[in-house]
Structure 1
Amino acid sequence: MAMLGLMLVAALCLGSASAASLGAVLTEGGMVSGDNYAVSGLFRYMDVFKGIPFAAPPGRFEKPKPHPGWDGILKAKDFSNRCLQLNLLQTDTRGNEDCLYLNVWVPQGRKEVSYNLPVMIWIYGGGFIVGGSMGGNILNNYLYDGEEIANRGNVIVVTLNYRVGAMGFLSTGDDGLPGNYGLWDQHAGIAWVHRNIRAFGGDPDNITVFGESAGAVSVNLQLISPKNKGLIRRGISQSGVALCSWAINRNPRELAELIATKVRCPTDDKMTACLKMTDPVTLTLAGSLNMDGSADAPIVNNLVLSPVIDGDFLPDEPANLFVNAAEMDYIIGANDMDGHLFAGIDVPSLNQPIQHTPLEDLKTLLAALTKEKGPQAAELAFGEYSHTWGKKPTKEEIKRAVVEAETDYIFLVPTQAALYQHNSVATTGRTYSYLFSQASRNPTFPSWMGADHADDLQFVFGKPFNSPLGYWPKHRDVSGYMIAYWTNFAKTGNPNEGESKVPVTWPAFNKETHKYVDIDHRMGRNSVKQKMRMRFVYYWTNIYASLPTISE
């Protein structure tokens, strides 16, 4: 037995000595070198490059430009700065204007370096005001570390930075400050990957972009923008699409004038010149958003530093641009209680286990969400969300209705509309729908709580595997399922076909059956369902939409 152990150690040492590695890689800007190390699995290794510039330091309120390049070998071993942004308390800033960098994870076997692998590019969320390519960090364990996806799915993972907040999305609604600089950054990163990824062993003609929340909206916008023709093969949007109420700011001038006033710039024809000369930290702080929601002023309505229809990157309303994604495969989904994060701010009693949520809070919230259609819409909405109640609703029924209303309005209903839109115009592109319902791990939440906003991220990035002490076996199950579906889809355009085994066949979405998979740790044949929350989708997309809009 001792001899067997020695032989195994010797084999591992020999494997390590002959591990496949890219070494220094030639990119369009110059040579880059990263790290190579062993990962889980027999004779499995990972080449990792952190902080590769994909564009020059951006000019203020300008589109990104090509990087001039460098001499020698660039050591790409550390994450770059985040783009300049507010801290989480909105009291100060962090990050840097010089921030257009990306990171690459390349899985390797023992002997030959990988070749022609599918590529997955991650676009982070954060309401278009915060975020970074590496994500949050606990004890050097970064949320958006691509190792588990790359290793378990045998794909190349890329994460990239883009400008956020005022520096990424401030717009005057005209040619002065057209906006969408963050979207142009994402596009520049995608284009860089398309031009350079072959040198890392990737297939430039098999690129999947995936993202969550504002990153999911960004994925949708990248798919439908005519600027990405020929660059992207597929997309995955997790909890966000271009049809969300918060995805597009249709009155950017109002916000620009508000920020201009904060930084003491005029709001006349000299405003643009003044804003361009203003200190970027001052501008970023002036772009802070009101995060104090209430039932009569839901926080979702404050997310206004967002993309605009600029006549360039987005030449038309998003609903009219889906035809540009007709040949792209697309997975779109939401978490079953995505709205809880927002509802807990708007209605604080929601997360107080002993405290009742007044029925009036639900009515006030629905009135605020349907404000543009008037009192009739609010009454109809209340009828929908209370239709299963008896004469005296329970505490839980009222609280769940608050969460469901915000989930439907902010995420789930626009997601269903986007699924239908893509499927309706698709030619060769396939459409897939999912609902993520793995219960939240937050012990302070009520027992009826499902998957909150962003709860899916830890599973997509394999945290139950690289932080096993913090999770149960069931969490590794659901993480394995998601990585398998996501990476199979990146390889073939079909989440069921690829190198990874899946728990149940995921049928494509179509406008007759509206089939989807319900993703949790118990997946089996009962996980294939259809017509997700159809009653509520019908209310918002048909009944509510058909009501006349009232004047302010």
Structure 2
Amino acid sequence: MFLIHGGAFTGGTGSDSTFDGSGLASRGDVVLVTINYRLTTLGFLALDDGVTNGNFGLADQITALDWVRENIRDFGGDPERITIFGQSAGAASVRALMGSPKAIGKFAAAIPQSNLAGSNYATTYSQYYNLSTEISVAAEPILNATGCLNATSTSQVDCLRQANAYALANLTTVARYLVVDGTYIVSDGLEVTGKGKGQGEGGGSVANVPVMMGFMRDDGAAFIGYPQANDTLGTFLPTQGFQLGNTTLDAFGVPSGPNSTLDVFNASALIATDSEFRCLDLATAYSAVNHGTIDTIYFYQFNRSYQTPGYDPNAPVCDAPVEPGYPRGNPEGEYFKCHSGDLYYTFGTIAYQGLAPRDGNDIPMAQMAVDRWAAFARNHDPNPEMAFLAARGFTNTTDEVARSGKWNKVGKSGAGDGDGDRDTGLQTLRVLQWPSFESSFEFHSSHEQCASLGFPLDYYETAL
């Protein structure tokens, strides 16, 4: 398992203790590799010089992948059974590698967790700038700030090399965008509508490997602020960058709870989640499976979270509510399941972080998540082998799998379920909580709501 850390392409590290691999490796019978790659301007700057074309951080990821393929046998790994995975910008990296001619053929499966796609801040993670746009948005402000825009005695890049690296990486404007450079990225997004399956370097547009993908129920709640007391949905959303018409606002509506400000945030968080995560991730799975560009996709929605103390936006909305008998919060209560709230579960690092379980299900939930992630890496199927679980005495997951049934992969629409509907039953996702269960793509929000935002289920049929 080859982890690419997140952090907006401006921060993060593979050595973050959240990603400690001891539990995942020992419990899951996998080899875990966490990597680092160049970030911010040092990793993603592109210039108009015909040489500095950006994507250096992505190139680092592929270099690390090449190293793993060459050396992982010495650590007990199999170079032909590499699963690349990552969350947030790590998920965007996984998505980019799935379409990169330099990476296709070098991994066997992929897990993008909470991939950003859609509007506002999320746009550039799945739809890539061309060089001229990146130069306008990032390079020129950086060159201006460093006095290198009109360098005469040296080239712009040599001028930048004379700047303090720390200062350069922390300017008000930094380069953090994947760009279409013609080498590492050759199209403005992942081509999921039948333009070709990837067959290796230079030989295809999409890596047709098994994929497990999904998002947090309220992923977008971390990417908006909190309303003021007198805000309405119509007044608050524009301050967060959402310019939506009445038709869209009506499609979502506002809850009618006792706290009107929380009601506005609740509706806004759903709109942000749909706009920046859910709608286009679902559309990716829908189009990729229907066109056969990716034959096997397992989809999930994470519905329990344990927010990392270092990233807790709009606190305490992303934290389980403190109630009598639950001094650390009651995970069965209602709260927002926010961005990054899955990481302690998928790595099994709640106790490693020195955090106490909040109820009797936090640890079983983490065991189940680790077992499913590891099963997908071992067999490209998140349904753990019952014999494996029994042999190791993993009774919590054994009971959960028996209780919740098989996690089915996304089916092709029109396969024929005989009822004349749109076959939403074939658009299946697993709701990961304790206990988990199978549902449809329309769990928690509808296709009509996505369409009202401009991101219908068939978005990729015509968009790219």
Query: How would you bin the TM-score normalised by the shorter chain?
Result: 0.7 to 0.9
Partner Cα separation in structure 2 for residue 338 and residue 257 of structure 1:
32
Q: 1:267 to 1:307 in 2, by over 3 A?
A: farther
Tell me the CA shift for residue 398 of structure 1: 1.6
**Match among 369, 376, 379 for residue 489 of structure 1:** 376
Partner Cα separation in structure 1 for residue 117 and residue 67 of structure 2:
24
User: Is 1:225–1:321's contact at 8 Å kept on the other side of the alignment?
Assistant: no
Matched, 1:364 2:235: no
Give the aligned residue type for 2:26.
N
Calculate the aligned-residue CA RMSD, in Å: 3.0
Match of 2:95 in 1: 220
Give the aligned residue type for 1:285.
N
Partner Cα separation in structure 2 for residue 428 and residue 285 of structure 1:
38
User: Is 2:58–2:93's contact at 8 Å kept on the other side of the alignment?
Assistant: yes
Give the aligned residue type for 2:277.
F
5 Å matches for 1:242-261? Answer: 244-247=122-125, 248-250=128-130, 251-254=133-136, 255-261=138-144
Tell me the CA shift for residue 164 of structure 1: 0.5
Q: 1:204 to 1:191 in 2, by over 3 A?
A: same
User: Is 2:149–2:156's contact at 8 Å kept on the other side of the alignment?
Assistant: yes
**Match among 107, 117, 139 for residue 232 of structure 1:** 107
Match of 2:394 in 1: none
Gaps of 5+ in 2: 199-205, 322-333, 390-397, 414-425
User: Is 1:133–1:161's contact at 8 Å kept on the other side of the alignment?
Assistant: yes
5 Å matches for 1:233-382? Answer: 233-240=108-115, 244-247=122-125, 248-250=128-130, 251-254=133-136, 255-267=138-150, 270-286=155-171, 288=173, 305-320=176-191, 323-324=197-198, 325-344=206-225, 347=226, 349=228, 355=229, 357-365=231-239, 368-370=241-243, 377-382=244-249
Deviations for 1:502-530, whole angstroms, at most 9, x for unmatched residues?
Answer: 5231110124321000111222xx44334
Match of 1:536 in 2: 449
User: Is 1:357–1:399's contact at 8 Å kept on the other side of the alignment?
Assistant: no
Partner of 1:143: helix, strand, or coil?
helix
**Which shows bigger deviation, 265-274 or 160-169?**
265-274
Q: 1:190 to 1:514 in 2, by over 3 A?
A: same
Give the aligned residue type for 1:462.
G
Q: 1:535 to 1:489 in 2, by over 3 A?
A: same
**Match among 170, 184, 187 for residue 45 of structure 2:** 170
Deviations for 1:52-110, whole angstroms, at most 9, x for unmatched residues?
Answer: xxxxxxxxxxxxxxxxxxxxxxxxxxxxxxxxxxxxxxxxxxxxxxxxxxxxxxxxxxx
5 Å matches for 1:75-474? Answer: 120-135=1-16, 142-172=17-47, 175-240=50-115, 244-247=122-125, 248-250=128-130, 251-254=133-136, 255-267=138-150, 270-286=155-171, 288=173, 305-320=176-191, 323-324=197-198, 325-344=206-225, 347=226, 349=228, 355=229, 357-365=231-239, 368-370=241-243, 377-386=244-253, 394-426=260-292, 429-440=295-306, 444-445=316-317, 448-466=334-352, 470-471=356-357, 472-474=359-361
Give the aligned residue type for 1:252.
E
Task: State the structure with bigger RCO (CA 8 A, min sep 6), 1 or 2.
Answer: 2
Partner of 2:350: helix, strand, or coil?
helix
Partner Cα separation in structure 2 for residue 257 and residue 267 of structure 1:
10
Partner Cα separation in structure 1 for residue 192 and residue 48 of structure 2:
20
Give the aligned residue type for 1:361.
T
Partner Cα separation in structure 2 for residue 400 and residue 316 of structure 1:
36
Partner Cα separation in structure 2 for residue 338 and residue 234 of structure 1:
24
User: Is 2:305–2:342's contact at 8 Å kept on the other side of the alignment?
Assistant: no
Deviations for 1:13-60, whole angstroms, at most 9, x for unmatched residues?
Answer: xxxxxxxxxxxxxxxxxxxxxxxxxxxxxxxxxxxxxxxxxxxxxxxx
Match of 1:110 in 2: none
Deviations for 1:95-144, whole angstroms, at most 9, x for unmatched residues?
Answer: xxxxxxxxxxxxxxxxxxxxxxxxx0111000000011111xxxxxx111
Match of 2:417 in 1: none
5 Å matches for 1:14-29? Answer: none
Tell me the CA shift for residue 170 of structure 1: 1.2
Q: 1:332 to 1:241 in 2, by over 3 A?
A: farther
User: Is 2:41–2:176's contact at 8 Å kept on the other side of the alignment?
Assistant: yes
Deviations for 1:232-272, whole angstroms, at most 9, x for unmatched residues?
Answer: 00000111157751313442111100011111112589534
Partner of 1:235: helix, strand, or coil?
strand
Give the aligned residue type for 1:275.
L
Match of 1:93 in 2: none
**Which shows bigger deviation, 238-247 or 409-418?**
238-247
User: Which one has a larger percent strand, Structure 1 or Structure 2?
Assistant: 1
Tell me the CA shift for residue 168 of structure 1: 0.5
TM-score using structure 2 length: 0.76
**Match among 511, 515, 521 for residue 428 of structure 2:** 515
Tell me the CA shift for residue 328 of structure 1: 0.3
TM-score using structure 1 length: 0.65
Gaps of 5+ in 1: 1-119, 136-141, 290-303, 350-354, 371-376
Q: 1:397 to 1:282 in 2, by over 3 A?
A: closer
Aligned residues: 391
Q: 1:204 to 1:169 in 2, by over 3 A?
A: same
User: Is 2:221–2:336's contact at 8 Å kept on the other side of the alignment?
Assistant: no
Deviations for 1:468-496, whole angstroms, at most 9, x for unmatched residues?
Answer: 75113211121111111111110111111
Aligned identity (percent) is: 25
Q: 1:242 to 1:121 in 2, by over 3 A?
A: farther
Partner Cα separation in structure 2 for residue 516 and residue 171 of structure 1:
38
Match of 2:420 in 1: none
Give the aligned residue type for 1:181.
F
Partner Cα separation in structure 2 for residue 426 and residue 490 of structure 1:
21
Q: 1:527 to 1:310 in 2, by over 3 A?
A: same
Give the aligned residue type for 2:252.
Y
Q: 1:363 to 1:427 in 2, by over 3 A?
A: closer
Tell me the CA shift for residue 315 of structure 1: 1.0
